[in-house]
């Protein structure tokens, strides 16, 4: 087990809560906080307030060094809320309100933790959407409880190929560690974006605020994503959509598509998205695409 750290947990939790309020104030969807007790400590989720009776649950898993609310930083969750009961997960060990403890990434701990959350929430089946590291968490859940996934969408996904971060990402991380300024925070974010992402100015400022704060106050100890073996990916038996941006700065796009096509037993579609980068969860066009997959 690994334990990440905040320089001052109380102050950073207050920052996250204030930041979450600002995101919601700018967007169409509001949320309530839900807490679940797990083997790794308390886990936090944002539950969209517009509950739809008899609708399926839809849970979003975020990427590394982000929080669940990154999924709605650009006001894209409104695409889903009329058809689903939406949950945004704060992953343990990440810069979130959840426990700082996390399991070893190559074990079954993440899968057991995710299954435990579903059991605590009395969710027997759900649609799951994961981006980057969040897509690897989809695979972890599939290995722990494959029957609980109705459909899966994997964006800019870890698991299929070894991470190969571009120089711009590596340099942004180094610069942010040595000189944690707002300029450095923007420099870390920018390589994942393209003009086609169509990120609102205010949304970008809030994302930079979050990254900047965590550069000063968060020490990551959670293990990074890895290339999953075939036997793990074979367990994802639900209908699956795989999307990756043409200009992804973490993964080789063609390698991801080729492997998805070769190992996923129920792949519906795998596509490279023209003119987009790694930050697919911020794109309204991608949200529309995922939504269409989930409702049909």
179-205 per-position pLDDT tens digit: 889 999 999 999 999 999 999 999 999
Instruction: Name the class of domain 2-295.
Output: alpha beta
Contacts of residues 205-208 at CB distance under 8 Å and 24 or more positions apart, as own/partner, are 206/19, 206/22, 206/23, 206/26, 206/73, 207/70, 207/73, 208/182
86-138 per-position pLDDT tens digit: 999 999 999 999 999 999 999 999 999 999 999 999 999 999 999 999 999 99
> Tokens 């579609």 map to which residue?
269
Helix (H) or strand (E) run with residue 244 in it:
strand 240-245
Q: What is the reported pLDDT for 168?
A: 86
Of 144, 183, 151, 188, residue with least CA distance to 166:
188
Q: Is 140 within 8 Å of 228 (Cβ atoms)?
A: no
3-state secondary structure of 129: strand
The residue count for the chain: 296
CA distance 45 to 256: 29
> Token digits for 12?
């950073």
Q: Is 124 within 8 Å of 130 (Cβ atoms)?
A: no
Q: Is 182 within 8 Å of 208 (Cβ atoms)?
A: yes
Which pTM does this prediction carry? 0.97
CA distance 114 to 275: 33
Helix axes 201-217, 9-26, angle to 10 degrees: 170
137-192 per-position pLDDT tens digit: 999 999 999 999 999 999 999 999 999 998 888 888 888 888 889 999 999 999 99
Q: What is the reported pLDDT for 176?
A: 81
Q: How far out from the chain centre does Cα 10 lie? A: 24
């Amino acid at each position: 087990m690994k334990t990440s750290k905040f320089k001052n947990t109380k102050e950073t939790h207050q920052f996250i809560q204030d930041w979450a309020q600002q995101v919601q104030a700018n967007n169409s969807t509001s949320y309530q906080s839900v807490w679940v007790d797990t083997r790794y400590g308390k886990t936090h989720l944002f539950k969209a307030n517009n509950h739809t009776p008899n609708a399926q649950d839809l849970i979003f898993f975020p990427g590394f060094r982000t929080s669940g609310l990154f999924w709605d930083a650009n006001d894209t969750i409104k695409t889903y809320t009329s058809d689903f009961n939406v949950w945004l997960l704060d992953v343990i060990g990440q810069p979130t309100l959840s426990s700082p403890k996390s399991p070893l990434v190559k074990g079954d701990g993440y899968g057991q933790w995710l299954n435990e959350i579903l059991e605590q929430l009395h969710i027997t089946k759900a649609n799951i959407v994961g981006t980057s590291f969040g897509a690897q968490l989809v695979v972890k859940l599939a290995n722990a409880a494959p029957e609980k996934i109705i459909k899966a969408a994997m964006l800019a996904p870890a698991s299929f190929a070894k991470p190969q971060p571009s120089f711009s990402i590596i340099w942004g991380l180094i610069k942010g560690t040595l000189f944690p300024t707002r300029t450095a925070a923007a420099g870390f974010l920018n390589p994942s974006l393209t003009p086609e992402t169509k990120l609102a100015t205010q949304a970008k400022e809030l994302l930079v605020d979050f990254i900047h704060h965590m550069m000063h106050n968060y020490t990551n100890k959670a293990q990074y994503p890895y290339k999953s073996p075939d036997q793990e990916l074979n367990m994802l038996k639900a209908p699956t959509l795989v999307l990756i941006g043409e200009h992804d700065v973490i993964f080789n796009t063609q390698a991801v598509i080729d492997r998805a096509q070769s190992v996923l037993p129920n792949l519906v579609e795998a596509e490279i998205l023209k003119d987009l980068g790694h930050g697919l969860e911020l794109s309204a066009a991608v949200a529309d695409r995922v939504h269409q997959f989930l409702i049909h």
